Each structure stands twice: as C-alpha cells, then as structure tokens.
Amino acid sequence: MSPIELGLAAIAATLVLALAGVPIGPAMIVAACGGMWLTVGERFMWATLKTLPFDFASQYTFVVVPMFVLMGVVAARADIIQDLYRAAAKWMGGTRSGLYVATVAASAGFSSISGSTVVNSAVFGKVALPEMLRNGCHKGFSAASIAAAGTLAGLIPPSLSFVIYGILTGQSIGQLFMAGVFPGLLTMAGYLVAIVLVVRLIPGYAPTAITRYPLGEKIRSLKAVWPILILATLVLGGIYTGTMPPSAAGAVGAAGAIVLAFARRSINARGLADSFQETMILTTTLFIVVVGGLLLGRFFVISGFIREITALLAAFDLGVYSFLLLVIGLYLVLGMFVDPLSMVVVTLPVLYPISQALGINPIWFAVIIVKLVEISAVTPPVGLNLFAVMAASETKISAGEIYRGILPLLAAEVVILALLVAFPAISTWLPAMMIGN
Amino acid sequence: MTMHAVDTALAWALRMSAWIGWAALGLMMIVGTGDVIGTAFFRRPILGAFEMAGSALAVVMFIGLIHVQTRRSHIVVDLVTAGLRGPMRRLADCFALFGTVTALYLIARQTWPLMLDSWRIREVSIGAFNFPVYPVKTLICLGATIAAAIAVVQLLQSLVRLFPRREGGAA
C-alpha cells in the first residue's frame, strides 16, 4: 500500500469504528496501533504506547486543562452566573432586544473564566432561558441565542479548544489564548447586530414584557460582578504580561474561584468534591481523545502519509485561500454530523502540517479552526450546544424550534468567519504584542 | 468470585481512586498558586513545582480512566447507533465495548514495563528537587489496569445481555 492509501485506510478505520459506536478516543487508538503494527512493526507500536501517553499526560504545559476546567466548574456551581446574568439583564434588558443582548453579554463575561462552550450553553440554558421565556421572548430564538453565545467560550480565553489545538500542534497556549480575544469580541458584536436586526424585522421575537430598572438598582447589581472581573483580569493579565504561564494562571484562577465560592457561601465541601470529580472526568475524557489523536498523528508521520499528501497538494499548486476554502468546506460538512472535538483531533494531524507547508500563520490558522469548530457546535443536526440547551432547559423545546432560531445567528457566523479569513491581523495582532513574545 | 465481591471491590476502587484523583488535582492547584505567589512576592519559587504538577496531572488522567470507564462517559459519535433498537443496539454496545477494551488493554499493557522499569532504578524526578517518580508510575499502572478490567467486566455483562435467557428455559 502507498503511504496515501495507508493514511486513508487509517482514517476510514477510525470512522468505521466510531460510527459503529466505539468511543472516538479508543477508535483512534485502535486504528493508529493497527496501522503502526502493519507498517513499522510490533516493537515500534509497543515502544510508542509505552512512552507517548505518559509523556503527554505528565507535561506541565497541559496542567492548564484541568485547572481551567476546575475554575469553570466551580464558578458554575457557585451561582456566579446567576449574578452575572441578573446584572446584565438589569443594565441591558430595558429594550426590545435587551434580554437577548444581556444573555450574549453575560455569556461573554462568563467565557472569561470558563473554557467550555457546552458548559456555557447548558448553564445559561438553566439560568437565562426561564427568565427570557417568562418575559415573553421567542422560545426557539432564545434557546438559539444561548447556544450561540455559548460558543464565545471557545474563543475568549481561557478556551479549551485553543488548549487542544496547542497540544496537537505544539503552539504556545498563551499566544493562542490572546489570539482569541478579538475574534471573540468580534463574534459577540456580530451576534448582537444579528439579534437587534432580527428582533426589529420579526416583531414576534421581541419579549411581551419589558422591565426597566432604576439606576441605583443597576449599580447595586454590579456588586456581585466585580469578583469575576478581578479573577478574569488576574488570569488573563498574568498570561498577557508573561507573569504566569497559562498552567500557573489556571491554578491561580481555580484557587481564586474556590476562595470566591466559599466567601459567597455558595459552595460546601460536598460541592467542592463534586467539582473535583467533574473536573477529573472531563480531563480524562479529553485525555483519551487527545492521546488517540497524537497516536494517529504519529502513524500519519511514520507511514509517510503527511509527506505524500503535502507533496500531492503542492503538485496541485494549491494556494493559501484555496486550501482554507477546502478546510472551511470540510469542517462545515463534518460539523453537521460529528462532534467538534473528534473532528479536530482526527483532522488536525493532517491539516496542520499542510497549512505549515503552505506558509500559513499557525496562530491565524488556529483561530479559523476554532471558529469553524464553534460554528459546528451550533450547526444542525448535530449541534452540541443546541442539544446542551435543549437538555438543560426545563421547558420543552423542539429541535425544529431551535434549528429555525439558529439560522440568523449562523448567517452572522458566516460574515464573522469571512472577516477572520480576510483580515488575519484580527487574530495575530494581540499575540504579537504580548510582553516577552 | 461472586458478583457481590466484584461490586464491593469496584466500589472500593472507585472511592479510593476518587480520593487520589482529587488529591492530585488539589496538589496541582496549590503548587501552581504557591509557585506564583512565592515567585512574585518572595522571589522564592517552589522547587520542583513543574515536575510535581506534571506528575499529579498524569495521576489525574490515568486514575480518572477508572471513573470515565465506569460511567462510560467517553465521547461517542452516535450518529448511527442512536437509531438502533433491540438486539442491534445490544450488538453495537458489545462492539463498542470490545473496541474500548482493546484500546485500554493496549494502553494498560505498556504501563506495566513503565512502572517496573521505574521501580528497578528507583526513579526520581530530574530537577532541583528530586522526588520519587515510581509511586506515580504505580498509580498510573493501577489506573489504566483497573479501567481495562472494568471495561472487560462491562463487555462480559454486555455479552450476557446480548443473549438473554428465555423465561421458562432450562435452569
């Protein structure tokens, strides 16, 4: 078999196993090991299995994953989101599109201390959706706004998507975090514009009741928000100024979130233990998928698949934008059916080396990939965030309602993606400005 | 060994491994925070902080496998299997567990030489503060092996469900 055939066979084996119900991590491990056994032999396979999982699992750089997960989990348990949402609703809820805007803004705020888009969507599905529906907002559009706003956690640091990209490609996680700031803010602005336009064009989407609060009450609501601001500033400021590596910033953030939660008396020892347990399970779930991706990536390299496929694309004289267009098409189609993490881990070991051969800035490429991943999280029929909101809400929301509601926000996503592709500086400027870069 | 004994052993393993995992997470957080505070305010970083946090991370990831496998909370692409019902569903479940057992066996098998080599040379961490690494590798081996064993038990249970005993059949 030629290297290209070997690589394609490994991808096909992974997909067949995954579609037959084998979890994606084990599916990749089995496919990669089978490939190594057949191409370079049993000894190489065992040697790789002895070293790779432990070497990956014991790297200090990846301490960032459980620490930021813990920070987000504790913050979600400690009712911090309720306060954040109440403050945003009081300040912004006084207009026709106000509650939708408040949801997006509060979700963006929470994204600065939580890196998981699914957690964001699920928690806001519990907190914001009942409030929106009580005020007569449109059911499907409310749920869709929450799901879309959840994706901000994928771009605004600390983002788990960027951490996974960093692990798989060896890029600086600190720089990747900073690269997500402006695209995250741009995405938020895009959602807000889309929401205001939709509510103006379709009056039925506007809430039936609009509550306006006096200035005093608005200012009082900010009292509950300042700890989040301090925590986010400490963590992101530490990374930006180079005072703390991302892993240490994560540890400080997690410790800060726990101190904050105990100070507010919104968590007890049992809640803390549950947070630790949730963090451990989420970290390990990611670990097994990433180990699978790394093993598959190693197989692609040793089988010569990467070298051959890059040469093949070079022979086609594929330019940067043609390649990006292919990647966008691939992710948009895959994203409709495959969950985001699996999609990245399976495709990145192939796409990243090609992008480097074409001279694409790795930070810019990271932002485009993460943006595509986040779009896939809200793309029907398999939109992870859409399901998270549907599952978390106590109100029955049909898939049809939420699918219709997400369409205007997907249109906004296409414009935002086009801007990110057209203007790489949106992604690359801030990392280039990092102190100590 | 009766099923009751298996359940008791599993419950004990889950409880112990949870405590070990939480302790490792706590250690990571305390060492990381302490190192930042020590460096920023006292110009005294914690010796071996990176190595300790890295070792704790490995413990969390491998010990966590026990809990992920027990709950079967792996990421699954259930595009095809979600629509299956009855025997086909049970068959797909068996296949999924067979794939998981294979992957966990591959990982777990190689944690044994990793642990034994470490014990043989009484491995310590490299750096300014040398702490023993072999206990860490022992926990890693235990985590991966117990997770693989749990997957095997789940596969056997799944096989039993695949061929349900008919009521009124031979005892």
Inter-chain touch B76–A24, beta carbons under 8 Å? yes
* Cβ <8 Å between B79 and A338: yes
Nearest CA of chain B to the CA of A194: how many Å? 31
* pLDDT value for B7: 81
Q: A252: distance to nearest CA of chain B, Å? A: 5
Among A105-114, B68-77, B111-120, name the most confident range.
Answer: B111-120
For residue B57, give the nearest of A17, A63, A342 by CB distance. A63
CA distance A101 to chain B (A): 32
Q: What is the pLDDT of residue A394?
A: 66
Could you write out the DSSP letters of every residue in A78-138? TTHHHHHHHHHHHHHTTSTTHHHHHHHHHHHHHHTT---HHHHHHHHHHHHHHHHHHTT--
Q: A311 or A196, which is more confident?
A: A196
**Band (B111; pLDDT cuts 50, 70, 90):** very high
| pLDDT (0 to 100) of residue A424 | 95
Select from A24, A29, A50 the Cβ nearest to the Cβ of B75: A24
How far, in Å, are A99, A140, A188, A399, B104 from residue A404 at the CA level?
19, 7, 20, 9, 42
pLDDT digits 0-9 by tens, A211-221: 788 888 888 88
pLDDT at B168: 53
Q: State how far residue B160 is from chain A, nearest Cα, in angstroms.
A: 19
For residue B68, give how far its alpha carbon lies from the nearest alpha carbon of chain A (Å): 6
pLDDT at B99: 96
pLDDT in tens, A13-33: 998 998 888 998 999 999 999
Q: What is the pLDDT of residues A293-302, one digit of tens each?
A: 889 888 988 8
What average pLDDT does the segment A38-49 reach? 93
- How much is the average pLDDT of B32-43? 91
Confidence of residue A190 (pLDDT cuts 50, 70, 90): very high
DSSP A381: S
Contact status, residue A111 vs residue A183, Cβ threshold 8 Å: no
Look at residue A128 in the predicted model and tell me its pLDDT: 86
B170 band by pLDDT with thresholds 50, 70 and 90? very low
Residues in chain B within 8 Å Cβ distance of A341: 75
> B71: which chain A residues are within 8 Å (Cβ-Cβ)?
281
If you average pLDDT over each of A81-95, A133-147, B138-152, which comes out highest?
B138-152
What's the pLDDT at B154? 94
pLDDT (average), residues A175-179: 92
pLDDT at A183 exceeding the cut of 90: yes
Supply the pLDDT for residue B1. 57
Residue A424: Cβ within 10 Å count: 16
* Option in B67, B68, B92 nearest A21 (CB): B92
Chain A contact set for B102 (CB, 8 A) = 26, 30
How many angstroms separate the Cα of B77 from the Cα of each of A17, A370, A384, B21, B55? 10, 19, 11, 27, 31
Write down the ipTM of this complex: 0.92
CA A319 – CA A354 distance, rounded (Å)? 11
Chain B residues near residue A251 by CB distance under 8 angstroms:
28-33, 35-36, 53
The CB-based long-range contact list for A358-363 (8 Å cut-off, 24+ gap) reads A358/A313, A358/A318, A358/A319, A358/A320, A358/A323, A359/A320, A360/A320, A360/A323, A360/A324, A361/A424, A361/A428, A362/A169, A362/A171, A363/A171, A363/A175, A363/A176, A363/A179, A363/A427, A363/A428, A363/A431
Contact list, B53 vs chain A (CB under 8 Å): 60, 63, 247, 251
Contacts of B45 in chain A (CB under 8 A): none
pLDDT in tens, B114-169: 999 999 999 998 877 889 999 999 999 999 999 999 999 999 999 988 877 665 54
Task: Name every chain A residue with its beta carbon within 8 A of the beta carbon of B79.
Answer: 19, 337-338, 382
**A258 vs A223, more confident:** A258
Sort out which chain B residues have CB atoms less than 8 A from A62's CB and list them.
57
Report whether pLDDT(A437) > 60: no
Q: Which three-class secondary structure state does DSSP give residue A39?
A: helix
To the nearest whole Å, the CA of B6 is away from the closest chain A CA by 22
The residue assigned the tokens 């699992």 is A57
Pick from A19, A62, A254: which is nearest to B57 by CB? A62
Length of chain B: 171
**pLDDT digits 0-9 by tens, A342-392:** 788 888 888 898 899 889 999 999 999 999 999 988 888 767 788 888 877
At B62 the pLDDT is: 96
* Cross-chain CB nearest to B107 (options A53, A70, A238): A53
pLDDT of residue B171: 38
What was the pLDDT predicted at B98?
Answer: 96
Picking from A68-72, A101-105, A275-279, B136-140, which range would have the lowest pLDDT averaged per residue? A68-72
Residue A304 gets the label, from left (phi > 0), alpha (psi -120 to 50) or beta, of: left
The size of the A-B interface in CB pairs under 8 A is: 190
Average pLDDT over residues B70-77: 86
Calculate the average pLDDT of chain A: 88
Contact A344, A301 (CB under 8 A): no
pLDDT > 70 fraction of chain A, expressed in percent and rounded: 98
Give CA–CA dist A354/A310, Å, rounded: 5
